[in-house]
Amino acid sequence: MRVFKFGGASVNSIERIQHAAAIIKEYGQEESLVIIISAMGKTTNALEKVAEAFYAGNKNEALELFGVIKNQHLTTAKYLLVKQYNACHAQLNDFFTEVEWLLHDKPVRDYDYYYDQIVCIGELFSTSIVSHYLQEIDLDNTWLDVRDIIRTDNNFRSANINWPETEKKVKEQLPHFNSQLTTNNSQLIITQGFIGSTEDNESTTLGREGSDYTAAVFANILEAENLTIWKDVEGVMNADPKEFPEAQLLQTLSFNEVIEMAYYGAQVIHPKTIKPLQNKSIPLLVKCFLDTSLPGTVIGQQRVKNLPPIMVVKQNQALVHLRTHDFSFVGEQPMSHLYEVFGQLNITPNLVQSGAISLQICLDNKTEKIEQLAAAVGEMFDVQVEKDLTLLTIRHYTANQPEERTAGKNIVLVQKTKETAQVLYY
Domains of the chain as residue ranges with CATH: 2-232 (3.40.1160.10), 310-425 (3.30.2130.10)
CA–CA dist 279, 242 (Å, integer):
33
- Provide CB contacts within 8 A for 123, sequence distance 6+: 37, 38, 39, 146, 192, 193, 194, 195, 211
DSSP 77-119: HHHH-STTHHHHHHHHHHHHHHHHHHHTS---S-HHHHHHHHH
Helix axes 59-80, 43-55, angle to 10 degrees: 160
* CA 280 centroid distance within chain: 21
How much is the pLDDT for 177? 65
CA–CA dist 50, 34 (Å, integer):
30
Residue 87 has a CB neighbour count (10 Å cut-off) of: 15
How much is the pLDDT for 267? 78
Angle, CA of 104, 106 and 107, to the nearest 5°? 125
How much is the pLDDT for 179? 59
- Listing from the earlier edge strand, what are the strands of the sheet with 310-324? 351-354, 358-364, 310-324, 381-395, 420-425, 411-416
CA–CA dist 173, 181 (Å, integer):
7
Sign of CA dihedral 220, 267, 237, 402: negative
Q: How many CA atoms lie within 13 A of 153 on its CB side?
A: 4
- Per-position pLDDT tens, the chain of length 426: 899 999 999 999 999 999 999 999 988 766 789 999 999 999 999 999 999 999 999 999 999 999 999 999 999 999 999 999 999 999 999 999 999 999 999 999 999 999 999 999 999 999 999 999 999 999 999 999 999 999 999 999 999 999 999 999 998 988 776 655 554 555 899 999 999 999 999 999 998 778 999 999 999 999 999 999 999 889 999 999 889 999 999 999 999 999 899 889 887 787 789 999 999 999 999 999 999 999 999 999 988 999 999 999 999 999 999 998 888 787 777 788 899 999 999 898 999 998 899 999 999 999 999 999 999 999 889 999 999 999 999 999 998 999 999 999 999 999 999 999 999 999
Residue 262's φ and ψ, nearest 5 degrees, are: -65, -40
How much is the pLDDT for 195? 97
CA–CA dist 146, 150 (Å, integer):
6
